[in-house]
Amino acid sequence: MKIGIDKMAFATTDQYIDLTELAAKRGVDPNKYTIGIGQDRQAVVPPTQDIVTLGARAAQKLLTPDLARRLSTLIVATESGIDNSKASAIYIKHLLGLDDYVRTVELKEACYSGTAAIQFARGLVALNPQETVLVIAADIARYGLNTPGEVTQGAGAVAMLVSANPRVLAIEPTSVSYSRDVMDFWRPLYATEALVDGKYSTNVYIDFFKNTLTRYQQRTGRELADFAGIAFHLPFTKMGKKALEAVLQDRTDAVANRLRDQLAASQVYCRQVGNLYTGSLYLGLMSLLQNGAVAAGDRLGLFSYGSGAEGEFYSGIIQPGFATALSDIPHDLAGRHQVSVAKYEQLFNSQLGMRAEDVQFDTQADQAPFVLAGQKNHQRIYQRR
């Protein structure tokens, strides 16, 4: 029985900054951001958006009443949880109006947990092929104003249905996970911005990619030639290039060049929104499927990485219905509007964050279908429009 990703949808905020403007404000050569880091635009998050509103927005794009009725479980994967106890999945389930007989849970391991969610969902469907599991990978990547990580911030959510007979990607049985206790990026309970050893984290990422790919190849006997393309977790687009080049080295043959071209196709959307943490690999997968030279029957590799650290390499076969089972990302990105760096800084500093007092946000400026209206008696107040 084929099990895998049946449908995918992406949501981000409605505004962005141009990173050449950010470079000018920070006194940096813009080529460092657009070429050295490989990012052009970055999603800007108003205080009325968080992982719950973004996750609900992504899920709303792919659910029909019939699909909603078939859901057994909703798993939200996130690094940017809004509560240390209550799962964001419960809030999202409520906003989407899902049946109460739906299991709801949140998973955490930095940027990796979206992949854990997919694998757990696969297991649930293998136990009961009638089940459909909704996986939402939603995050807001915050490093702080005027920090080295600032240019790699971003925000958004990818919602995915995992089921039998999937239309997008049938996941193959072999997957290799690899974890080590590493302090490359973490966020203590009292912090709203990540602590990161940036250079170290890029080296650990590459190390984990090489380790998991090598073990996958040993177990399956497959070569790089067996992949039409590889989708990477993309904290910034240059990271995928660094990892791919670490295994291609100076190869210039047709296979190596194909993988380079497909990598570029997988980076198109990340360049426009930035890091999604848990969702980045899956936005990269959507980008590869919508912009790459791929066809039904092709095998794709997927490399997932979460600091701390956990990596996983697995693969899937593209299914015939893939093109019609993905949300229209170019349309959504074209509908965003640009804001100034000053406006971004003001919005960055007006998040709910760790505040304990009652807060009421002005929701008029945010036309998103779900908004965070504020906080009352330590409870977040959400609105569905």
Give the residue numbers annotated as catalytic, written as ranges. Answer: 79, 111, 233
Alpha helix segments (H runs only) across the chain? 19-26, 30-31, 51-62, 65-70, 88-96, 113-127, 198-220, 237-248, 254-266, 270-273, 280-291, 329-334, 341-348
Does residue 275 belong to the site contacting ligand CAA (CB under 6 A)?
Answer: yes
What are the phi and psi torsion angles at 92 (to 5°)?
A: -65, -40
The residue with its CB nearest to ligand CAA is 36
Nearer to ligand CAA, 83 or 197 (CB): 197
Does residue 185 belong to the site contacting ligand CAA (CB under 6 A)?
Answer: yes
Does residue 232 belong to the site contacting ligand CAA (CB under 6 A)?
Answer: no
Does residue 36 belong to the site contacting ligand CAA (CB under 6 A)?
Answer: yes
Which residues have a Cβ under 8 Å from the Cβ of 32 and sit 6 or more positions away?
23
Neighbours of 183 (CB within 10 A): 14
Does residue 149 belong to the site contacting ligand CAA (CB under 6 A)?
Answer: yes
Nearer to ligand CAA, 236 or 370 (CB): 236
Stretch that binds ligand CAA, among 207-215, 236-244, 311-319, 373-381 (CB under 6 A): 236-244
Q: Could you say which residues in the range 121-140 bind ligand CAA, by CB under 6 A?
A: none
* Rounded-to-integer distance, Cα 160 and Cα 75, Å: 10
In the list 196, 244, 265, 371, the residue contacting ligand CAA (rule: CB under 6 A) is 196
Asked whether 358 and 38 are in contact (CB, 8 A), the reply is no
Nearer to ligand CAA, 239 or 244 (CB): 239
Does residue 239 belong to the site contacting ligand CAA (CB under 6 A)?
Answer: yes
Neighbours of 334 (CB within 10 A): 9
Count of residues in contact with ligand CAA, rule CB under 6 A: 28
- Helix/strand/coil for 272: helix
* Rounded-to-integer distance, Cα 121 and Cα 100, Å: 19
Q: Which residues of the chain form contacts with ligand CAA (CB under 6 A)? A: 29, 31-32, 35-37, 110-111, 148-149, 151-152, 185, 196, 198-199, 201-202, 205, 233, 235-236, 238-239, 275, 277, 305, 307
